[in-house]
């Protein structure tokens, strides 16, 4: 039984993540060297079942936020399947999205045929939303933003699968000083909404109804220690 405080699509996605092992609880050492009580592995979403679940959750998140856009842009390589499958499911949720398109970039420009770096709808003069799995350091997202700018598109939002809501690491990570998250820095720099299917707050809410007291305590302690200032 999941928390009634969460929308049904978030609960369904969380249940699928836990069942498939894409969301685990325990003790995990992250690349940042932080010791996390949970681990979200987006790399497992290659099965048809999980791909459908994730794409459906992306589509519901976009529909719930009501963001007006023309093109869903998926940065190569992970974003390629995400922009296509999410677009299909978004159309089934609300017919108003039937006229929207998707695009993605090539890693290397094609010098024959249609040429260029963009596959799918041209970005020039269009309102564009970037879809990706996560934002860590923000480097990949900034590269995608530069592509959209170079192609003449207007970036109006970003959507990712998960927001850890934790501050960026520092040389002395336990300094206790407030810092923004990687997502918060992107929001501030570009002045656009950055949406996420799930956040750490969502996981904690879900675990209130489904998790052990120890897991819930460790999640709350981690959030308190590393919570971002944004």
Q: What is the pLDDT of residue 11?
A: 96
Sheet holding 116-120, edge to edge: 116-120, 101-110, 71-74, 127-131, 154-163, 194-199
The 8-class DSSP code of residue 173 comes to T
Contacts of residue 66, Cβ cutoff 8 Å, sequence gap at least 6: none
Residue range 88-104, pLDDT digits in tens: 999 999 999 999 999 99
Backbone angles phi, psi at 119, to 5 degrees: -115, 135
Hey, is 91 helix, strand or coil? helix
What's CA 21's distance to the chain center, in Å? 18
First-to-last C-alpha distance (Å) of the chain: 31
Euclidean distance between CA atoms 216 and 208, whole angstroms: 7
Q: What is the pLDDT of residue 229?
A: 86
Contacts of residue 134, Cβ cutoff 8 Å, sequence gap at least 6: 40, 42, 160, 161, 162
110 catalytic? Reply is yes
Residue range 33-74, pLDDT digits in tens: 899 999 998 888 889 999 999 999 999 999 999 999 999 999
- Check: CB of residue 147 under 8 Å from CB of residue 106: no
Q: What is the pLDDT of residue 13?
A: 96
Annotated catalytic residue within 24, 96, 110, 208: 110
Euclidean distance between CA atoms 129 and 127, whole angstroms: 7
Residue ranges of the chain with per-residue pLDDT less than 70:
1-4, 109-115, 171-175
Euclidean distance between CA atoms 3 and 8, whole angstroms: 9
Q: What is the pLDDT of residue 3?
A: 64
The CATH fold assigned to 8-226 is Rossmann fold (3.40.50)
Annotated catalytic residue within 31, 33, 107, 112: 112
Euclidean distance between CA atoms 194 and 160, whole angstroms: 8
Q: What is the pLDDT of residue 173?
A: 66
Q: What is the largest CA-CA distance in the chain?
A: 60
Rg (CA), the chain: 18
Domain ranges of the chain: 8-226
């Amino acid at each position: 039984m999941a928390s009634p405080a969460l929308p049904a699509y978030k609960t369904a996605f969380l249940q699928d993540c836990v069942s498939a092992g894409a969301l685990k609880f325990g003790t995990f050492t992250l690349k940042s060297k932080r010791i996390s009580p949970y681990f979200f592995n987006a790399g497992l979403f290659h099965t048809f079942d999980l791909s459908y679940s994730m794409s459906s959750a992306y589509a519901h998140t976009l529909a719930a936020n009501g963001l007006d856009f023309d093109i869903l842009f998926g940065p190569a390589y992970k974003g390629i399947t995400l922009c296509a499958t999410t677009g299909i499911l978004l159309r089934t949720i609300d017919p108003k999205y039937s006229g929207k398109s998707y695009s993605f970039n090539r890693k290397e420009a094609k010098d024959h045929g249609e040429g260029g770096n963009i596959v799918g709808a041209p970005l020039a003069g269009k309102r564009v939303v970037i879809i990706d799995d996560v934002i860590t350091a923000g480097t990949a997202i900034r590269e995608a933003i530069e592509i959209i700018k170079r192609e003449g598109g207007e970036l109006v939002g970003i959507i990712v699968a998960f927001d850890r809501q934790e501050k960026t690491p520092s040389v002395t990570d336990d300094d206790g000083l407030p810092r923004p998250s990687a997502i918060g820095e992107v929001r501030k720099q570009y002045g656009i909404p950055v949406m996420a299917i799930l956040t750490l707050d969502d996981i904690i809410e879900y675990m209130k109804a489904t998790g052990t007291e120890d897991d819930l305590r460790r999640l709350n302690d981690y959030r308190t220690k590393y919570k971002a200032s944004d």
